[in-house]
């Protein structure tokens, strides 16, 4: 479970986060909705303890990432919005590296790599070096890396971008099964269809503030708009930023 209360963060004169409060529960997929520049990346970085908040509180399973970042990080699978792989390592070597960094035992690691690879249907690229991978293959590798150490929490920044229909389905199925296992999944996305089909809870942030939290139905009811996309635009209070 991830709980934040009134988290603020300022860079110079820019208020990146002006008061973010939400609760992301275990066994739920929570969507993080917000226009570009709303502060999602800053929020995610603050949650893993890479940035220090100016105000407010954060608890990941009761642990403050600022106090004990290593414990929090070993319990989080983090997929960033931009990421690179290591071209001179094969997918298996890449996954082993991050597994070892998370303190996994060698035998367990080997088993888990096969497990994750099956879950994401990526057996064909497991022994290949990542040079020349397609965007979809790259996302799969990164997602496998985030799932590898069986974290209780997943922070995913647009996990299905650039994926074809089959791969998108594989990822969604993986997320559903993770939810069933009791994981706390937080997913930033711009795909409304994904939100309404997959997510139990939605957090809307705009200009560094949480504007609303609730299930897709609740958000529609609250705004009195039947369509989630229109409801979102009305909550954010502008027509901009939804293009992506």
Partner 1 sequence: MKSNDRKSAHRQSKFLVVFLKEFRESLRDKRALGLLALFTLMYPVMFGYILNQTIERATRAEREGIELAVIGGAQAPTLMSQLKEKNITVRKLPDMDEEAIGEMLRAKKVVAVLRLTPKFADNYQAMRPARLELWFDSATEQDRRRRDVEDVLRAYNANVASARLLAHGVSPAVLGPIDLQRYDTGTTAARSAGFIGSLMGFLFFPAFFCGMAAAVDSTAGERERRSLEVLMAQPVRTWQLVGGKWLAAGSLAVIGITLELILAHIGLSWLPLEEIGMSWRMGWGDLAMLCLASVPLSLFASAAQVTVAMNARSFKEAQSLVSMLMIVPMLPGLVVSMMELKTATWMYAVPMLSNQTLMREISKGGELGLLPYVLTFACSALAALALVGFASWRMKSERYVLAV
Select from 32-40, 78-86, 179-187, 199-207 the region that touches partner 1 (CB under 8 A): 78-86
Select from 42-50, 109-117, 192-200, 206-214 the region that touches partner 1 (CB under 8 A): 42-50
CA 94 remoteness from chain centre? 20
Give residues with Cβ within 8 angstroms of 233, minimum separation 6: 239, 242
**Is there binding between residue 63 and partner 1 (CB under 8 A)?**
no
**Is there binding between residue 50 and partner 1 (CB under 8 A)?**
yes
Select from 19-27, 79-87, 198-206, 223-231 the region that touches partner 1 (CB under 8 A): 79-87
**Is there binding between residue 103 and partner 1 (CB under 8 A)?**
yes
Question: Measured from the CB atom, is 68 or 240 closer to partner 1?
Answer: 68
Q: Of these, 97, 106, 173, 239, which contacts partner 1 (CB under 8 A)?
A: 97
Cα separation, 35 vs 235, in Å, equals 11
Cα separation, 112 vs 102, in Å, equals 13
Cα separation, 208 vs 103, in Å, equals 35
**Is there binding between residue 85 and partner 1 (CB under 8 A)?**
yes
The total number of residues written for the chain in this structure: 244
Antiparallel, parallel or unpaired: β 14-24 and 2-11? antiparallel
Q: Of these, 86, 227, 229, 239, which contacts partner 1 (CB under 8 A)?
A: 86
* Run of H or E including 53: none
CB-CB contact of 26 with 152 (8 Å): yes
**Is there binding between residue 74 and partner 1 (CB under 8 A)?**
yes
Name residues contacting partner 1, limited to 131-150 (CB under 8 A): 142, 145
Task: Please give the torsion angle defined by the CA atoms of residues 28, 33, 39 and 45, in that order, rounded to the nearest 10 degrees.
Answer: 30
**Is there binding between residue 95 and partner 1 (CB under 8 A)?**
no
Cα separation, 69 vs 15, in Å, equals 23
Select from 97-105, 161-169, 197-205, 221-229 the region that touches partner 1 (CB under 8 A): 97-105
Nearest distance from C-beta of residue 84 to partner 1, angstroms: 4
Backbone angles phi, psi at 181, to 5 degrees: -80, -5
| Footprint on this chain of partner 1 (rule: CB under 8 A) | 11, 45, 48, 50-52, 69-71, 73-74, 76, 78, 80, 82-86, 88-89, 93, 97-98, 100-103, 142, 145
């Amino acid at each position: 479970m991830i709980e934040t209360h009134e988290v603020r963060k300022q860079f110079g004169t820019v208020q990146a986060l002006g008061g973010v409060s939400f609760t992301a529960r275990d066994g739920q997929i929570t969507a993080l909705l917000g226009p570009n520049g709303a502060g999602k990346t800053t929020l995610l970085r603050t949650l893993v303890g890479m940035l220090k908040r100016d105000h407010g509180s954060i608890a990941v399973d009761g642990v403050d990432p600022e106090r004990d970042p290593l414990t929090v990080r070993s319990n989080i699978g983090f997929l960033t919005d931009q990421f690179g792989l290591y071209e001179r390592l094969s997918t298996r070597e890449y996954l082993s590296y991050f597994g070892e960094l998370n303190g996994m035992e060698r035998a367990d690691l080997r088993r888990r790599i096969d497990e994750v690879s099956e879950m994401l249907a990526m057996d064909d690229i497991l022994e290949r070096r990542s040079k020349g991978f397609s965007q979809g293959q790259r996302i799969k590798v990164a997602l496998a890396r985030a799932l590898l150490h069986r974290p209780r929490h997943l922070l995913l920044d647009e996990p299905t971008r650039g994926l074809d229909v089959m791969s998108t389905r594989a990822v969604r199925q993986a997320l559903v099964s993770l939810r069933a296992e009791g994981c706390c999944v937080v997913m930033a996305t711009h795909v409304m269809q994904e939100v309404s089909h997959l997510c139990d809870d939605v957090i809307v942030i705009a200009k560094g503030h949480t504007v609303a939290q609730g299930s897709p139905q609740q958000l529609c009811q609250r705004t009195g708009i039947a369509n989630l996309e229109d409801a979102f635009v009305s909550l954010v209070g502008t027509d901009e930023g939804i293009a992506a």
